[in-house]
């Protein structure tokens, strides 16, 4: 199975699930026509962008004679409401704030994600070879999404009715950038349980970036992904919850968060690439259980276990939940010792969600 590790992904990884966009796109209520039109535009974009993702590199660029640059290098560009990438560069590494909130939020969020991987796990950017971090803001007209296209982050401003600007949540920024990390490590196939693990790894490191920035312990954190991107018209706090999958939102327009928290409620579906945004709630909840039972700073404890698992070469592109669970248990044993509380808690967490 490991032979397929460097296959290019054939998808476009976005923060808003396609089933949620499809629900918005189908709205016929005159009061929601702006949101419906924005969702339809976002859905149309999903297919053309797959070509860019398919062509993205999956190995760190470390050829003979290649100098590895270890310093943080950020460039934020402005698409100016167009769908042309990359747009005009408006803030580069070391430049002062621009006063454009989206530009400055993207700059800060990319830096916070880089710092987690670098300062905590000793990794040089997403590819461990100093990959520059590039982002484009103000993408499209009232664009309802944020995505990683294989080389850069792209953020829409939202329709203003359901979604606000996508840079307003650091977990959105770090979630999408972590898809780049996965691209350069296990390169998990974006389908079924492997795809749900791909999404889950992005959620896990997304919340860890936020928790580290806020200095939060596991028991004090919100464990929400995308908190703050909904407008005040929406009944919901975020897109997903690691603490309580299925409770992030419950809205007349959006419907109810469909994520399960255990295998007992696993969703068999052909939509959303086999439920990658839905069933990711199960490994998400396993991480939450392990982190809160261990306590303290999750990025320093069980976060190291998930990082070791993702980078250790034991996760094939078609990995399922059970194999990933065993890899994390083995990683905990390797790092903390057989019989350690960390190893026992990781094993316990996967059993609690019905995977092991």
Residues annotated as part of the active site: 176, 277
131 near 166, Cβ under 8 Å?
no
- What's the rounded Cα separation, in Å, for the pair 24 and 4? 36
- What's the rounded Cα separation, in Å, for the pair 268 and 271? 9
The CA-based diameter of the chain, rounded to the nearest angstrom, is: 61
- What's the rounded Cα separation, in Å, for the pair 207 and 204? 6
DSSP secondary structure string for all residues of 58-121 = -S----TTPPPP-S--EEEEE-TTSS-SS-EEEEETTPPP-S-HHHHHHHHHHHHHHHIIIIIT
CA 10 to each of CA 149, 190, 294, 313: distance values in angstroms, whole numbers, following the listed order: 11, 8, 37, 21
- What's the rounded Cα separation, in Å, for the pair 76 and 189? 29
327 near 311, Cβ under 8 Å?
no
DSSP secondary structure string for all residues of 239-303 = SEESSSTT-SBEETTTEE----SSGGGPPP-SSHHHHTTTTTHHHHHHHHHHHHHH-S-TTTTHH
146 near 172, Cβ under 8 Å?
yes
DSSP secondary structure string for all residues of 230-257 = B-TTSSBS-SEESSSTT-SBEETTTEE-
């Amino acid at each position: 199975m490991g032979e397929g590790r460097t296959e290019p992904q054939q998808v476009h990884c976005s923060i808003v699930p396609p089933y949620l966009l499809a629900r918005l796109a189908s709205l016929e209520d005159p009061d929601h026509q702006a949101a419906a039109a924005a969702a339809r535009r976002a859905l149309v974009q999903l297919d053309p962008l797959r070509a860019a993702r398919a062509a993205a590199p999956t190995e760190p660029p470390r050829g003979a004679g290649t100098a590895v640059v270890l310093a943080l290098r950020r460039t934020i560009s402005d698409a100016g409401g167009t769908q042309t990438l990359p747009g005009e560069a408006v803030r580069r590494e070391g430049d002062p704030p621009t006063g454009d909130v989206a530009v400055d939020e993207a700059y800060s969020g990319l830096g916070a994600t880089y710092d987690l991987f670098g300062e905590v796990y000793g990794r040089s950017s997403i590819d461990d070879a100093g990959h520059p971090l590039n982002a484009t803001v103000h993408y499209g007209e009232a664009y309802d999404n944020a995505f990683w296209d294989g080389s850069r982050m792209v953020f829409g401003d939202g329709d203003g009715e359901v979604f606000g600007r996508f840079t307003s949540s650091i977990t959105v920024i770090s979630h999408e950038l972590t898809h780049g990390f996965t691209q350069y490590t296990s390169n998990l196939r974006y389908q079924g349980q492997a795809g749900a693990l791909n999404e889950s790894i992005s959620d896990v490191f997304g919340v860890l970036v936020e928790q580290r920035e806020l200095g939060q312990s596991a028991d004090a954190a919100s464990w929400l992904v995308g908190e703050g991107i909904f407008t005040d018209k929406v009944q919901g706090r975020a897109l997903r919850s690691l603490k309580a999958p299925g409770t992030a939102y419950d809205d007349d327009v959006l419907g109810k968060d469909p994520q399960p928290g255990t295998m007992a409620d696993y969703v068999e579906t052909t939509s959303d690439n086999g439920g990658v945004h839905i069933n990711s709630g199960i490994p998400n909840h396993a991480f939450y259980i392990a982190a809160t039972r261990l306590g303290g700073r999750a990025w320093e404890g069980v976060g190291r276990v998930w990082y070791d698992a993702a980078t250790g070469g034991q996760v094939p592109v078609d990995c399922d939940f059970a194999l990933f669970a065993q890899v994390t248990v083995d990683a905990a044993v390797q790092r903390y010792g057989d019989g350690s509380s960390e190893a026992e808690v990781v094993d316990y967490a996967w059993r609690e969600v019905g995977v092991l």
